[in-house]
Amino acid sequence: MKQGIRRLDLADEFYTSEGCFITEVSNSSDDTDTSIARARLEAGKTTRWHRLDGIAERYIILQGRGRVEIGALPPADVAVGDVVLIPPMCRQRITNTGPDDLIFLAICTPRFSDGAYQDINDNPDKF
């Protein structure tokens, strides 16, 4: 990793096939240990069932309310300040249960890569 400061630029936000908006805060070959993305999920929306191969993920809820489903755990409500821990290959999805955008950081170790993403929406019982 090189020393430096990465600035959040919301103009870089893009929509994903997962069903949410992402702004990469830090995802660089200069720092392969970790990536950080800002995720935004509109009111009433749910992301697709998915899992990450070889990548652990943490959600830090910054704004709004949601309901997260991970692995075999029962669905759980989450709110500002909550941290959701998602091991590699663990099925996951999140629903925005509030009236405003649900915004959270997605911190991945090692850093996120498109090749690690596995959509399992048609077979969500895969753990």
- Residue linked to tokens 């925005």: 96
Considering only CA atoms, which of 86, 85, 82, 76 is closest in space to residue 117?
Answer: 86
CB proximity list for 71: less than 8 A, separation 6 or greater? 86, 87, 90, 91, 92, 127
Cis peptide, bond prior to residue 110, ω within 30 of zero: yes
**Of the candidate ranges 2-6, 62-66, 114-118, the one whose mean pLDDT is the lowest:** 2-6
Q: Tens digits of per-residue pLDDT, 95-126? A: 999 999 999 999 999 999 999 999 999 887 76
pTM of the model: 0.94
Residue ranges per structural domain of the chain: 15-119
What is the third-level CATH fold of 15-119?
Jelly Rolls (2.60.120)
CB proximity list for 85: less than 8 A, separation 6 or greater? 56, 58, 70
- Residue linked to tokens 């405003």: 100
* Statement: residue 56 has pLDDT above 90: yes
